[in-house]
Homo-oligomer: A and B are copies of this chain.
Amino acid sequence: MTTILVVDDEAPILRALSITLTARDYTVVTAGNGADGLAAMARDHPAVVILDLGLPDMDGVDVIHAIRGWSAVPIIVLSAREQEQQKVAALDAGADDYVTKPFGMHELLARLRAAVRRSAPGEQEPVLRTASFVVDLAAKQVTTLDDQRVRLTPTEWQIVETLAKSADRLVTAKHLLHEVWGPSYGTETNYLRVYMAQLRRKLEPDPSHPVSLLTEPGMGYRLITQSGKD
């Protein structure tokens, strides 16, 4: 979950941002002055800071300096002041971006996304872990637990992909045949039996006692994932 720290002394803005950002699935932490902001900064570790320059207790530029003393978190400055000098001072103090009030909410969100994107370069791919192998849907690749690549034929991969897209849920034989062989297939369950056997031989430690590619008699098949823990 991405945490955003918003430091502003104007309650309406704080509320508006809080609602909008929460609706976008960010976790929002707020502070009404510079001291509280720095405290929140240390307590939670936000991915981005949105900072108003016009704080009651301390100068915004000093807040930036304080944060930059020990953190490289992206800082987006929010300010009513239009003076160029102000922008230059904030940016040179270590801010990453500067938005002038009144601002468009969509623009702020876009700049926020840009900041988050920069700070998190290592994009996590959607990978599924089972008890005996790992499915990487983006790379179209299956590996064993010790990172050995497993060679799958096109049909084998399509079956794994279809099962993985409905991980832990039952996939009927008819749906599987539709996805892999086309809409005109639906009763050729013998195809599935052959390919499931091949997949188990390639992926399961003990193919005759599968733990990840299960058969649901009379219904279909199910891919069992491992949610994080052993």
Contact = CB atoms under 8 A, between A and B. Distances in A.
Number of copies: 2
Contact of A111 (B91, B109, B117, B141): B91
Interface string A90-101: 011011111000
Contacts of A104: 84, 87
A11 interface: no
A169 B96 contact: no
B96 A84 contact: no
Interface string A77-117: 00000001101100110111110000010110111011001
A121 B122 CA distance: 10
Contact of A147 (B114, B121, B229): B229
A188 to B, nearest CB: 19
A69 interface: no
B113 A91 contact: yes
A138 interface: yes
B168 A139 contact: yes
Nearest to A170: B140
A217 interface: yes
Interface string A144-166: 00010001011001000000000
Contacts of A107: 84, 87-88, 91, 98
B72 A88 contact: no
A85 B107 CA distance: 8
Contacts of A106: 84-85, 88
B169 A138 contact: yes
5 closest residue pairs by CB, A with B: A140-B170, A91-B110, A154-B218, A88-B110, A84-B104
